[in-house]
Structure 1
Amino acid sequence: MAHPLTPLVIRHTHRLPDPTGATGSRGPGDVAARQFDAALMSVGFKLSADLLERLSELGEESVLETAARTLQTVRAMAGDHVGHNVYFIDFPLNVPDTFDFWMRCIAEALTDDAARAGTLAQLRTGVVDLLTLPSYGDYRHTYAEMLAAHDELIAAAGDRLTVLHLGGGAEEEVSDLYLALAGSGTPLGEKALRDLGILARHCVAGPQPEAIPVRENRAVVNLARLEAGADLLLDTVTDVLRLACALCEGDVGLLTPTRFRALRRPVRRALLAGLDAVLAAGPAKLADVQTNREAFKRLGERLHPHEYPRWPHAAQVFAVARGEQRARSFDSHLEELLGAGDVTGAGRLLLAGPGRLLRAVDRLLRACRTQQERDAVLAAAERAAPEAAGRVLLSVREHLQNRAQEADERRVFVNRLGRAWVAADTRPPVPAPERERLIALLDAEVRRRLPDPGHLLIDPDVLDVALPLSGRATGAGLGVLPRGSLSPVDGELLRFFVYWKQTSRTTDFDLSALILDASYETVTWLSYTALTAVEGEHSGDITSARHGASEFINLRLGAVRGTFIVPQVNIYAGEGFEEVEESFFGFMLREGEQRGRPFEARTVRMKSDLRGAGRVALPLAFVRDDGRWRAKWLHLYLQGSPNANRVEENRVSVATLLRGIVEREHLTVRYLLDLMADRATASTPWDGTTVPPGPVTYLGLQRPEGLHPDSRVITPENLRDLIPG
């Protein structure tokens, strides 16, 4: 019987747990395994040599069962689990001029008895609503008819092949994945956090991570422990609040309000007992209630603490939330000291939270009036650095390397939901001597925590991948890299795609591409209002997605007249990215003569879920530098308008935001490699074919075959493991 969590293992690790089944003669298993490999290659995946050999040892029935499950998983990873139809059946051929197409739709409406009168009335006013035309916005042919109109894809050397490697036993792989996600030192994305919840329930009685440093992860694990009757992992009152949010299927990140529902009496007792124990051990933690006062007030209405006098400390939490008891918050004390100009005192206070001190060091230095105060702030930072989390050190290091600019620069803000906006940066620069001392301090502390790498084997394409300081800066999907990463784009044709399926309301997503010059000025765009340009073609506007809908943009990279290509997904009407049943964006690369269907899974280089808080999605941009195109990963969302978002209307804000992201220096894998290089016994660029015979530390976009079993392997799937603790 297959393990139910195998798909999670495949998605997160690109490993297939060691299949179990009756061993048959080599002949039948070998044939089925090779057929399985061929089927995988048709969607851009392949079995490693070890995995192919292992499958060949099994009986044919076991191989076929494994193949069916695995193909279902990897097809969904690439976006091939749905049928991608197009409005214009021959796309990218025979796409009409936009005006001619609209005129054709109007002419067809005039021959339609039901639409004629309304269309004539609109024509008299001089304005025609495209959505009222019968032939506009809906597929005019079936998916099967569209497939029949296209030639088979011609295989090319540049087609993607994502290798699936042989894993350990299913339970071992599931446990290892749970430990990796639960113990992650960086926050997980939304989908990974849901996966952690599934894994935590399955692994609640098994091995647990030594520590769960990310609070959202702890809340998800605590939910599984509460359901299983195990002890809870609580050391702040906010841990209890996050657990309550998890119980009510709310936001454990506490960014959006949770609607607390009625809770069973055993659950109420567990939460109140947890609060009481936390405050009994540390009464000062009562001050944390002020940060989420409204949420605690609403939670108290569901917990009924007055019914449980044996937990008096828990009752204090809700007395503070209601304003009946005073508990001074850390932040109010800090603001009082800074308001009085006591920078040295503020630094001493912040030493109680080393991470908070380092995050505030920019502000503290700007508040200093004397060199003595600046020296005191630096001394406090030196004391805090060894105690702060690794991702805090790296975040502050990245911040400081971008603080040498003049005060009239633009500042990009990105919240934890991916919502982005730009404002003028009115802060004075950090004094150069202090900035350089802090950077040296952080570099030294990060270097101290990095392990000795031994023999380094490095894929050069990974050097410009940004460090994943937060999982929320990386969308879930295939081939996705953290915000700020740069990756090469090699191919003649670049094709974007978006797919969405509405939940209950008519929903219209619009795929567009904005092309900018080196000064971030608009050159042109492709969208439903501009179906063709010198650069390429749009597949046509689909205005409803009851059964799912797709749109495509095809670009000839050699014909692009600008420096930047910015694909975007605009919500014209209906449900948001977080409301639709499913939505994702991706891009394909093809050679000029490959032909094929509009969507071909093995040409997909990236597929990312769209689940952000905004009405305009900016997954990534493409940048031309010295004649070569590279992808710049964004994972951003603009608030946009409630309806009718269009590329023409947001192009200025998109250009401003892009400029801020492109010109920001992100910490990359290259930075960490430079810090550990002097301790490496050897450093070898990977040539794509040969690997050293002994153990190595490999860093690359995909694990090569033939590595020594004792090697440490870092790829985008586990890049968070590179962040020191």
Structure 2
Amino acid sequence: MRIHTIIRRTLRVPRAHAPAGDGAAVARQLDSVLAGVGFTCSGELLGHVSGLAPHAATTLAVEVLGAVRELVGDDVEHNPYFLGFPHEVPDTVEFWVSCLRQALTSGAAVPTGGPVNLLDLPTYGRHQHTHAELLAAHDALTATAADRVTTLHLGDTVEAETLGVYRDLAGSTTPLHEADLSLLAQLAVQCRTGPQPRLIPVRENRAVINAVRLAAAEPLIAVDTVTDVLRVACRFSAGDVTLRTPTRFRSFRRAHRRVLLTALDAVAADEAKLADVARFAGRWKRLGERLHPHEYPDLPHAARVFAVARGDLRAPSRAARAEAAFAAGDLPGATSVLAESPGTLLRALDRLLRTATAADTDAVLTAVTAAVGQVSGRVLCSVREHLMNRAAAQPARVFVNRDRRGWVTPDTRPPLTATTIADTAAVLDAELARRLPTADHVVIDPALRTVAVPLTGAATEDGFAVLPRGSRTPVTGEVLRLFTHWRERAERTDFDLSALLLDADFGYTGHVSWTRFKNNGVVYSGDLTESANGATEFIDVPLAEVRATYLVPQVSIYCGEGFNTVAESMFGWMTRTRDQGGAPFEPRTVRTRSDLRGTGRVALPMVFARDDTGGWTALWTHLYLSGTPNFNQVEGHRTSTALLTRAVVGRTHLTVGHLIATTAGTVTTTDDPPPTGPVLYLGLEDPGNLPEGSTVITLHNLNRLVPA
């Protein structure tokens, strides 16, 4: 595993195996340069670099600087269209006319007598200055105490850090996003012969690790359903481990067939497990054609799986039996059937509770009390969050799939009673408190209290200071500056940054985009229409001047490659004072930077909301809209965006603060006197000065807070 990757993921710099010497000068230079991008070295890290030979210290310093610059997006040139942005940005129509005038006076071929395509004008959408000229046109950034400073700490050896990352990923209690799942696959090969995590709760993670074991013809581990085996076969065939899309299975060697069928035979010995086969019957039949189960008479249970897939054997699913009970009005019967699978019972809890009589409610709660000890912590947290939003009728429900595509539909469900919610929540809270990491003393950074518990990695993007969907953080500073950067891979690609302005009732009050450069004091940096060498667009938002309650930034694909296919794409934001100066992109003012990787054609990374006191809060959304194949504009989907924003803003999320409130230990904050003994520390960053034996949970491993 590269040092670069470890630094980006953990903000720890692995100890270098290098000759000792006097690297003090390099250490001082490194800390000075890091300050320019908003980072600093801990005393321990500076001491380590100082103790290395100068050439070794320089090599490590270059690695560190490259990693953190990439982390905040400073590894590329950010050059807006207008040289003087955010000043000297013209009126939109005036600018278009000037482009047409320049084309006509330069002798360029411009159609007459009909509409003019802006893209045909030689100066439109293309830089008219270099990045060096841009930097020369702007004063140096004035440093302020409010600028971001992120501390880098000294880590363990590369080998130990690699193993730690592998264990964190493999043992995650929540599904990983695509980048982490890909990293897990690489590390599974590297760590195959070493110690494995005691638990691998997420089935996709099991499949990734087992695919590596299958390649070595080793027995599969942690397989307890037939679907687990199907996932492994899909992963080994370079298919979709989540089973959302069909896989074209490869031909398996005899040793590989034996491993898969042996694992399948062990699981299928329990007839109840066969009920899961029907869900993916078509894929099982195709897999059977590759595994040849008839050649293994010593594995009869495995053969039954394929018989069920073909319809030769019946294995009624639990869901079908429960639906039959619901249809017959037999709620106790449905509860009894669902209770055979505790996780299924909890997922159907709302349906049971909203249709139950008083007597039935008691029976449901009795079943839930008996089941919660066998349900994954992620499901417990999901249901607990769900109950937070069921006390009153909601105008709409928001749904988000694994691709982070969001849509809204009317909510026709009657609300649950306050008593039912309180009684059910008490059962869930008690179980969550029992499973939380044990500690006599918990120290929490107040900034983490409003961060949403990450119930799935698919609800976040890779990047710097990226928070889970539903997290809320205050926005400080006088000017909010949004930015997006992208670079095309094979065809001309035009992304457009825009911002929709909504009032307190989510009504449209305006927007800024390539069709409107200025609105309500908000300023757009100019439209760039090609990105072979990368392109960046900005929006400047003077927070005190904006006459809107909600500001919804969007990145739309006007034409070309998608978010998943471009060479790179990112979104982020900075905050500054009005008189701080500096270039349009200054890395030490970057508060967050996230990748944009989704299947939609319009990205909605977050919403900024103004409260009654005039302060602003950032709400992370990590959503995508389908949009149209090309020519997406903020005006074209402002109604659907407003509906989605209303539903997202109105939803209550389970936060770190709520979970910590259930713990029985002493809870203090970072504002209180420092502890003297080991603690469980929860914060945005590792403070680096905790008592020996303390456990640290920060953004990079926040999912550890979700119990197994």
TM-score normalized with structure 1 length: 0.93
2:62 corresponds in structure 1 to 68
In the alignment, structure 1 residue 15 sits paired with structure 2 residue 1: no
Alignment of 1:650-669 (within 5 A): 650-669=637-656
Tell me the alpha carbon deviations over residues 459-493 of structure 1, each in whole angstroms, 9 at most, x when there is no partner.
21111111111111121110111111111211111
| Structure 2 Cα separation of the partners of residues 230 and 15 of structure 1 | 34
1:110 corresponds in structure 2 to 104
| Structure 1 Cα separation of the partners of residues 692 and 28 of structure 2 | 24
| Structure 1 Cα separation of the partners of residues 513 and 695 of structure 2 | 45
Give the stretch that moved more between structures: 530-539 or 146-155: 146-155
Aligned equivalent of 2:551, options 565, 570, 579: 565
2:668 corresponds in structure 1 to 683
Deviation at 1:301, TM superposition (A): 4.2
Deviation at 1:647, TM superposition (A): 0.8
| Structure 1 Cα separation of the partners of residues 294 and 564 of structure 2 | 38
CA contact (8 A) 1:411 1:423 kept: yes
Deviation at 1:372, TM superposition (A): 2.6
Aligned equivalent of 1:278, options 258, 267, 276: 267
Aligned equivalent of 1:694, options 670, 677, 680: 677
| Structure 2 Cα separation of the partners of residues 317 and 198 of structure 1 | 31
CA contact (8 A) 1:691 1:706 kept: no
| Structure 2 Cα separation of the partners of residues 696 and 372 of structure 1 | 45
Deviation at 1:686, TM superposition (A): 2.7
Q: Secondary structure at the match of 1:167?
A: strand
Kindly provide the amino acid, as one letter, of the partner of residue 545 in structure 2. A
Tell me the alpha carbon deviations over residues 280-302 of structure 1, each in whole angstroms, 9 at most, x when there is no partner.
x3233222121122333343444
1:520 corresponds in structure 2 to 506
| Structure 2 Cα separation of the partners of residues 517 and 33 of structure 1 | 51
Alignment of 1:76-475 (within 5 A): 76-116=70-110, 119-120=111-112, 124-125=113-114, 127-233=115-221, 234-279=223-268, 281-306=269-294, 311-368=299-356, 370-406=357-393, 409-475=395-461
Tell me the alpha carbon deviations over residues 573-613 of structure 1, each in whole angstroms, 9 at most, x when there is no partner.
12221122211111111122222222121111111111122
Tell me the alpha carbon deviations over residues 591-649 of structure 1, each in whole angstroms, 9 at most, x when there is no partner.
22222222121111111111122111111111111221111111111111222111112
Q: Secondary structure at the match of 2:518?
A: coil
Deviation at 1:671, TM superposition (A): 0.6
Q: Secondary structure at the match of 1:17?
A: strand
| Structure 2 Cα separation of the partners of residues 371 and 397 of structure 1 | 21
In 2 relative to 1, CA 109–700 (structure 1 residues): closer, same or farther, beyond 3 Å? same
Kindly provide the amino acid, as one letter, of the partner of residue 639 in structure 1. S
Deviation at 1:387, TM superposition (A): 1.4
| Structure 1 Cα separation of the partners of residues 175 and 16 of structure 2 | 32
| Structure 2 Cα separation of the partners of residues 69 and 22 of structure 1 | 17
In the alignment, structure 1 residue 628 sits paired with structure 2 residue 615: yes
CA contact (8 A) 2:441 2:665 kept: no
Q: Secondary structure at the match of 1:705?
A: coil
| Structure 2 Cα separation of the partners of residues 325 and 106 of structure 1 | 73
| Structure 1 Cα separation of the partners of residues 674 and 96 of structure 2 | 57
Q: Secondary structure at the match of 1:33?
A: helix
Q: Secondary structure at the match of 2:662?
A: helix
In 2 relative to 1, CA 523–380 (structure 1 residues): closer, same or farther, beyond 3 Å? same
CA contact (8 A) 1:499 1:583 kept: yes
CA contact (8 A) 2:482 2:538 kept: yes
Deviation at 1:329, TM superposition (A): 2.0
Counting matched residue pairs gives 706
In 2 relative to 1, CA 612–207 (structure 1 residues): closer, same or farther, beyond 3 Å? same
2:688 corresponds in structure 1 to 705
In 2 relative to 1, CA 101–306 (structure 1 residues): closer, same or farther, beyond 3 Å? farther
| Structure 2 Cα separation of the partners of residues 470 and 646 of structure 1 | 30
Give the stretch that moved more between structures: 609-618 or 102-111: 102-111
Kindly provide the amino acid, as one letter, of the partner of residue 569 in structure 2. S
CA contact (8 A) 2:446 2:669 kept: no
| Structure 2 Cα separation of the partners of residues 256 and 535 of structure 1 | 46
CA contact (8 A) 1:115 1:134 kept: no
| Structure 2 Cα separation of the partners of residues 105 and 308 of structure 1 | 74
1:616 corresponds in structure 2 to 602
Kindly provide the amino acid, as one letter, of the partner of residue 63 in structure 1. A
2:466 corresponds in structure 1 to 480
In 2 relative to 1, CA 8–282 (structure 1 residues): closer, same or farther, beyond 3 Å? farther
1:495 corresponds in structure 2 to 481
Deviation at 1:46, TM superposition (A): 1.4
| Structure 2 Cα separation of the partners of residues 148 and 520 of structure 1 | 41
Q: Secondary structure at the match of 2:15?
A: coil
Deviation at 1:309, TM superposition (A): 5.2
In 2 relative to 1, CA 459–68 (structure 1 residues): closer, same or farther, beyond 3 Å? same
Deviation at 1:308, TM superposition (A): 5.0
| Structure 2 Cα separation of the partners of residues 320 and 542 of structure 1 | 56
Q: Secondary structure at the match of 2:519?
A: coil
| Structure 1 Cα separation of the partners of residues 210 and 156 of structure 2 | 27
Q: Structure 1: which 5+ runs fail to align?
A: none
Q: Secondary structure at the match of 2:267?
A: helix
Percent identity of paired positions between Structure 1 and Structure 2: 52
CA contact (8 A) 1:457 1:686 kept: no
CA contact (8 A) 2:217 2:255 kept: no
Q: Secondary structure at the match of 1:174?
A: helix
Deviation at 1:318, TM superposition (A): 3.4
Q: Secondary structure at the match of 1:337?
A: helix
Kindly provide the amino acid, as one letter, of the partner of residue 231 in structure 2. R
Q: Secondary structure at the match of 2:658?
A: helix
CA contact (8 A) 2:442 2:665 kept: no
Kindly provide the amino acid, as one letter, of the partner of residue 210 in structure 1. R
| Structure 1 Cα separation of the partners of residues 518 and 340 of structure 2 | 60
Tell me the alpha carbon deviations over residues 403-446 of structure 1, each in whole angstroms, 9 at most, x when there is no partner.
0112x621111112211111110011224332221011111211
Tell me the alpha carbon deviations over residues 385-410 of structure 1, each in whole angstroms, 9 at most, x when there is no partner.
1111112111111101210112x621
Aligned equivalent of 1:585, options 571, 586, 591: 571
Kindly provide the amino acid, as one letter, of the partner of residue 629 in structure 1. W
Deviation at 1:324, TM superposition (A): 4.3
| Structure 2 Cα separation of the partners of residues 40 and 249 of structure 1 | 40
Q: Secondary structure at the match of 2:431?
A: helix
1:58 corresponds in structure 2 to 52
Deviation at 1:202, TM superposition (A): 1.1
Tell me the alpha carbon deviations over residues 49-102 of structure 1, each in whole angstroms, 9 at most, x when there is no partner.
111112212211211111111222211111112222221122222111100111
RMSD: 2.0
| Structure 1 Cα separation of the partners of residues 677 and 551 of structure 2 | 43
Deviation at 1:112, TM superposition (A): 4.9
Deviation at 1:357, TM superposition (A): 0.6
| Structure 2 Cα separation of the partners of residues 358 and 565 of structure 1 | 36
Tell me the alpha carbon deviations over residues 502-555 of structure 1, each in whole angstroms, 9 at most, x when there is no partner.
222222111001111111112221100011223232111112222222111111
| Structure 2 Cα separation of the partners of residues 162 and 293 of structure 1 | 51
| Structure 2 Cα separation of the partners of residues 548 and 322 of structure 1 | 52
